[in-house]
Chain A
């Protein structure tokens, strides 16, 4: 069955450093990936979308890549701040079939001041 995998261990980094989160997929060829941020007690909030024909997308301090050979997406936060501490979710979807995203379980990021 199709799987979206994110590192379940929390990522701890120092303020100012670049955080890199990984999303791997197996038994699946998504047409696009979306990244969301989730704070405790809140619903996920959309951050970035990248399609399979795009290698990289940027938005302010955020960058996401999509490598269809490695079956992987990387999500980078540059110049990280304590306010970036949250859980980040990767969701994958296709242009055909059921209209809905398949999500990974998320990676918690903790940025230390």
Chain B
């Protein structure tokens, strides 16, 4: 596996509470991504980063923010969690400037919002 660690692996939280998920990589890759995976929807892009402090929105970014203060860490924050944000969250990284370079995924964080 590429050196990607997601933490926590599982989390249960209550509606309205803030939640931060962490993605840590040891590959020194420039590009990092947050996806969520839901039954019937597949993987959907939340936010991605193309460098330290450089981020952009994906297709389902509402209710989420991200930060990347170091190459190795990409944080996903749910400012006020809602039940619709119950999902499995995957972090991915890619190395090359080429847009078709493969993604390497972490093993996910299962988040339940009650």
* A interface, CB within 8 angstroms of B: 4, 6, 8, 31-32, 34, 36, 41-46, 49, 51, 89, 91, 93-95, 98-106
Q: In chain B between 89 and 114, which residues have their CB closer than 8 angstroms to a CB of chain A?
A: 90, 92, 99-100, 102-108
Contacting A46 at CB < 8 Å: which of B58, B104, B108?
B104
Nearest CB of chain B from residue A109's CB, rounded to whole Å: 16
The answer to whether A99 touches B103, judged by C-beta atoms less than 8 angstroms apart, is no
* B interface, CB within 8 angstroms of A: 4, 31, 33, 35, 39-45, 48, 50, 56, 58-59, 90, 92, 99-100, 102-108
Contacting B100 at CB < 8 Å: which of A4, A42, A44, A49?
A49
The answer to whether A105 touches B33, judged by C-beta atoms less than 8 angstroms apart, is no
- Which interface residue of A32, A100, A104 has the most chain B CB atoms within 10 A? A100
- Which interface residue of B40, B45, B102, B108 has the most chain A CB atoms within 10 A? B102
Find chain A residues with CB under 8 A from B41 CB.
105
Closest to A1 in B: B59
Find chain A residues with CB under 8 A from B59 CB.
102
